[in-house]
Amino acid sequence: MNPTIKKESLINTKPTLAVLVDNSKSVSFFKENENIKELLNNISDNKELNSKFNIETFSFGNQLQVLDSLSFNNNDTNIYDAISSVNELNKDKNAPVLIISDGNQTIGNDYEYINSKQHIYPIVIGDTTKYKDLKISQLNVNKYSYIKNKFPVEVILNYEGEETAKSRFSIFSGGKTVFSENVTFSKIENSKTITANLTSNKEGVNYYTASIRKIEGEKNTRNNTKSFPIEVIDEQTKVLILSSILHPDLGAFKKAIESNKQRSVDVQLIHKFNNQINDYQLVILFQPDNRFNSILSQIVERKSNFLLVSGANTDWNFINKKQVGFSKKAINQTENYGATYNESFLTFFQKDIGFNEFSPLKDKFGEITFSRDHQDLLLQNINGVQTQQPLLSVLEQNNQKTAVLFGEGIWKWRSSSFMDSNSFLDFDQFIGNLVQYLASKKKRNRLEINAENLYPANSTINISAFYVDKNYNFDDRASVEITITNKETKEVTKLPFSLINKSYQATVENLSSGDYSYKVSVVGQNISKYGHFKITDYEIEEQFTHADSEKLQKLAQKAGGKMFYKNQTNILFKDLIDNKAYFTTQKSITKEENLIDWKWILFFVIGLFTAEWFIRKYYGKI
C-alpha cells in the first residue's frame, strides 16, 4: 500500500516592469548622466511601485543587456532591438516597458513602427528645444576610382529651422577646395541632394572632407562635416585575344572584359596578326594550333601572362611541346564537361555564380597533367559525375601567371547568367576577376590584409589577415600579430590575431582620432605587410541637436502607453500603480504526494502507538 494525499497551494505572480536605460554616448553629450541615475534611484526607492511590480532593469546601446553599471559610452543606439529583445524575454508575461532615452537611434529598424504586445512608457531625457541645425545626413561614394577618371560624390544635406538659411557646401582634399556650391534652405525646402563629380588624379588612398558652413544660431556643428576615402587605382589594361577560328566565345570574352571601362580588347585572327604582344598586359590564346608558334615562343621567353582556352580545334600535340606548365593526352574525340565550383580555391576571391547550372563546355577528351604548382577554380564533371580533373586552372611561377580553360562554349554561360539574374554582372565580374589577376604583374603575397582606410571615432576596428604556406594553402598554424603606431604621438599598440574559421582576426578598440600606420607580421617568418588608416573626429552619437520627443510620443501611442518627461516621473509612477491592467495573478497548484513522504505523520502515528502502549501498561491492560 502506498496511500496518497492531494495538496493545494496558491502562488502569486506580480506583473513585470521592464526598465530600459539608454547607455549611449548621446546621453553624455546631453549631460544627462546624473539625471538618469537619479531616475533609477527613484524607481528602486518607490515602495508602492516595487510592491506592485517585479522590476527588471536593462541597459542598451547597440544591443540589450542586463543592467550592471552605466558608462554612457556605447557608440551606437538601437532602440528597436532593445524593445524587441525585452518583448521576447517577457512574451508570456504581463510586462509593460519603461524606456529612458533621448529617442535618437543610430542603427537598426525604425522603432516608431515596432509592433509591441507590451505597453511602452518612454521617459524623455535630453534637451527637447529645437535649434537651427545644418547637417550632412548621408554621403554616398564608391570606395574605388581609376586614375584620371571622374567619380561622383552624392551628399544629402538637411536643415532644421523656421527661417531661410544660406550656407556653402565644400569638399576638401590635401588642403585644397575641390568642390564648392552655395545652398539655400527654408522650413519647407529643408533638404538638398548635391552631386559632385571629382577627378581622381593621384594613385593610392586619397582622403576627402565634406563640410557645410555653420549658420548663425547653430548650436551643434559636429554634424556639419564628414570625411571619406577614395582608393585610386591605375589599371589601364589592354587585352589581346588571338584565335584560330571565328567563334561566339570571342564576343562573350570581349563584352565581359570591356564591361570595365578601364579595359580594352583587340580580337585578332592569328593568320592576320603581325603586331607585338608587348603592347598588351594580357594575351588570350583561343584554340591555338601550330600557327601560334611564334606568339607562344614569345610568351614563354618573356614570361608574359596569358590565358589559354582550348576546344575542339585545339592542337594539343603542338601545345604539349611548348612547356607552358600543363599538357593533355588528347584523343580525336570530344567530350562535354560540366563545371563544379572548387571551394578550396585561394588564389583570388571568386564566388560561386551557379557554375554547376551552366551548360557543359566542349573539349577533346584526355588526361590533363601539370608540371607546375596550380590551383583549380573549376573542376570537371561528366554527365553529373564529379572528377578531379580541372576545367579552369591558374598557375604561377617565376612571376609569370597563366590560366587555362579546358573547353569552348563559354558564351552560353554569359547567356545563362543573364537568364538567372537578369544581368550580365555576375559573369562579367567572374571574367573580370580572372583578367585582373592575370593582367597584374604584382607578385602574389602569402600574407594579405583586409582593413578599411577610414574609421569613425571610438569605433571598434576589425582587421583580418589571410596567410598561406609556400604552396599557397591556408596555414592555420601561424602566429600573426599587428603593431599599430600613432603617426603623431608615436604611441604603439601591439596585438595578436585570433584564428577564426579560415582567417586571422584582430579587434582594436580605444584608439584616439588621428593617422595610424600598421605592420602585420607572421612570427618566425620574414613576412610582413604594411598599411595605414585614419580615425576621424566624427561621432555619430553627437550628431543630434535635441531629444526626439516626437518619435517617442508616436511610439508610446502606438504601443498603448504614454510618454513622460523626466520631471513627470511621479505622475508616471502613479499611473502605473493605479493601472488595473497590471495586476497580480494567482495560480492554484494541486499536487499528489505519497503519505510515506510525509515524515511528520509517520512520527505522529508512532507517537500515538507509543502513548497507547504506556497507557495500557500503566493500567495493567498488557
Please spell the DSSP secondary structure of 513-554, one letter per residue. Answer: SEEEEEEEEETTSS-EEEEEEEE-S--GGG--SS--HHHHHH
Q: Angle, nearest 10°, between helix axes 248-258 and 411-421?
A: 50
Banded pLDDT at 315 (limits 50, 70, 90): very high
**The pLDDT of residue 502 is above 90:** no
- The C-alpha cell 571619406 sits at 228
- Joined together, the cell numbers standing for residue 38 give 537619479
pLDDT band at 471 (very low <50, low <70, confident <90, very high): low
Q: What pLDDT, in 10s, does the model give residues 342-391?
A: 988 877 778 889 999 999 999 999 999 999 889 999 999 998 888 999 99
DSSP 203-223: SEEEEEEEEE---TT----GG
Based on the fold, state whether residues 164 and 281 are members of the same structural domain: no
Residues 60-71, mean pLDDT to the nearest whole number: 90
| Collapsed DSSP state (helix, strand, coil) of residue 120 | strand
d(CA 619, CA 622): 8
Q: Calculate mean pLDDT across residues 283-301.
A: 93
Strand partners, 307: 284, 403
What average pLDDT does range 458-464 have in this prediction? 84
In a domain, 17, yes or no: yes
Q: What are phi and psi of 91, to 5 degrees?
A: -65, -25
pLDDT at 349: 75
Q: Phi first, then psi: give them for residue 202, nearest 5 degrees.
A: -120, 125
Question: CATH code at 28?
Answer: 3.40.50.410
Quick one: cell of 401?
601567371
Which domain-ending residue is among 439, 469, 485? 439
Q: At what angle do helices 425-439 and 248-258 cross, to 10 degrees?
A: 80
- The confidence score (pLDDT) of residue 78 equals 93
For residues 96 and 17, the answer to whether their CB atoms sit within 8 Å is: yes
Residue 483: its H or E element: strand 480-486
User: What's the pLDDT tens digit per position in 111-155?
Assistant: 998 999 999 999 999 887 788 889 998 888 877 777 877 888 999
Q: How far apart are CA 148 and CA 572, in angstroms?
A: 63
Residues 148 and 104 in one domain: no
Q: Tens of pLDDT along 244-256?
A: 999 999 999 999 9
pLDDT at 44: 92
pLDDT mean over 417-438:
89
Contact yes or no for 575/562 (Cβ under 8 A): yes
**Does residue 435 share a domain with residue 451?**
no
Q: What percent of the chain has pLDDT over 90?
A: 56
Residue 8 has a CB neighbour count (10 Å cut-off) of 8
Residue 260's domain comprises 237-439
Instruction: Enter the C-alpha cell of residue 7.
Output: 495538496
Statement to judge: residues 244 and 228 lie in one domain:
no
- One domain for residues 46 and 83: yes
Q: Rounded to an integer, what distance in angstroms lies between the CA atom of residue 103 and that of residue 79?
A: 8
Residue 484 lies in a domain: yes
Q: Give 3's pLDDT tier (boundaries 50, 70, 90).
A: low
CATH number for position 472: 2.60.40.1930
CB burial of residue 617 (10 Å; 0-12, 13-18, 19+): exposed
> Has residue 565 been placed in a domain?
yes
Q: Is residue 198 part of a domain?
A: yes
Task: Quote the CA–CA distance of 217 and 578 in Å, as a whole number.
Answer: 45
Provide mean pLDDT across the span 16-39: 90
Which helix (H) or strand (E) segment holds residue 13: the answer is strand 4-13
Please say if the pLDDT value at position 277 is more than 90.
no
So what's the pLDDT on residue 443? 65
**pLDDT bucket at 600, cuts 50 / 70 / 90:** low
pLDDT at 6: 66
DSSP-derived 3-state class of residue 98: strand
Domain boundary among 514, 535, 556: 535
Are 208 and 342 contained in the same domain? Answer: no
Confirm whether 423 is domain-assigned: yes
What per-residue confidence (pLDDT) applies to 19?
Answer: 96
pLDDT band at residue 176 using 50, 70 and 90 as cut-offs? very high
Give the whole-number percent of the chain exceeding pLDDT 70.
94
Q: Report pLDDT for 403.
A: 96
Mean pLDDT computed over 504-516: 90
Q: What is the CATH number of the domain that holds 185?
A: 2.60.40.10
Tell me 112's DSSP state.
G
- The answer to whether residue 596 sits within a structural domain is no
> Which of 206, 234, 262 delimits the end of a domain?
234
Across the range 5-13, mean pLDDT stands at 73
Number of residues that make up the chain: 622
* Cell (9 digits) for 482: 599587428
- Phi and psi (nearest 5°) for 14? -75, 150
Confidence at residue 10, expressed as pLDDT on a 0 to 100 scale: 74
Same domain, 422 and 522: no
Q: Does 221 map to a domain?
A: yes
- Considering the domain architecture, whether residues 158 and 242 belong to the same structural domain is answered as no
User: What pLDDT does residue 584 have?
Assistant: 87
pLDDT score of 599: 66
Amino acid 598: pLDDT = 60
519 and 418, same domain (yes or no): no
User: At residue 594, what is the residue type?
Assistant: N
51 bridge partner residues: none
DSSP assignment of 317-343 equals HHHHTS-SSEEEEEEEEEEEEEEEE-T
How far apart CA 297 and CA 293 sit, in angstroms, is 6
Q: Which residue, among 451, 468, 467, has the nearest Cα to 517 in the 3D structure?
A: 451
User: Average pLDDT, stretch 553-575?
Assistant: 94
pLDDT value at position 602? 66
As a three-state string, the secondary structure of 462-479 is EEEEEEECCCCCECCCCC
Asked whether residue 195 is assigned to any structural domain, the reply reads yes
Q: How far apart are CA 331 and CA 474, in angstroms?
A: 37
Cell of 91: 512574451
Checking if the pLDDT of 579 tops 90, the result is yes
- Here the cell at position 52 is 506592485
Res 593 pLDDT > 70 = no
What pTM, to 2 d.p., does this model score? 0.53
Residue 8 pLDDT > 80, yes or no? no
- For residues 38 and 548, give the distance between their C-alpha atoms in angstroms, rounded to a whole number: 21
Tell me, what's the pLDDT at 617?
Answer: 72
Region 571-598: what's the mean pLDDT? 80
Same domain, 267 and 327: yes
User: In this predicted structure, what is the pLDDT of residue 357?
Assistant: 92
How does the average pLDDT of the chain come out, rounded?
A: 88
pLDDT above 60 (res 169): yes
Q: What's the DSSP call for residue 460?
A: P
- So what's the pLDDT on residue 4? 64
Cell 520631471 found at: 567
Whole-number pLDDT of residue 2? 56
- Burial label for 530, CB within 10 Å (0-12, 13-18, 19+), is exposed
Residue 225: closest CA among 201, 208, 209, 214: 209
Could you tell me if 368 and 392 are in contact, meaning their C-beta atoms sit under 8 angstroms apart?
no
**Rounded to 5 degrees, what are φ and ψ at 483?**
-120, 120
Same domain, yes or no, for 205 and 173? yes
Do 307 and 321 sit in the same domain of this protein?
Answer: yes
**Number of separate domains in the chain:** 4
Three-state secondary structure call for residue 445: coil
Q: Is the dihedral of CA 75, 79, 85, 90 positive or negative?
A: positive
pLDDT of residue 456: 80
pLDDT at 472: 65
Q: Please compute the mean of the pLDDT values over residues 87-94 and round it to a whole number.
A: 91
Nearest-angstrom CA–CA distance, 285 and 259: 20
C-alpha cell at 217: 544660431
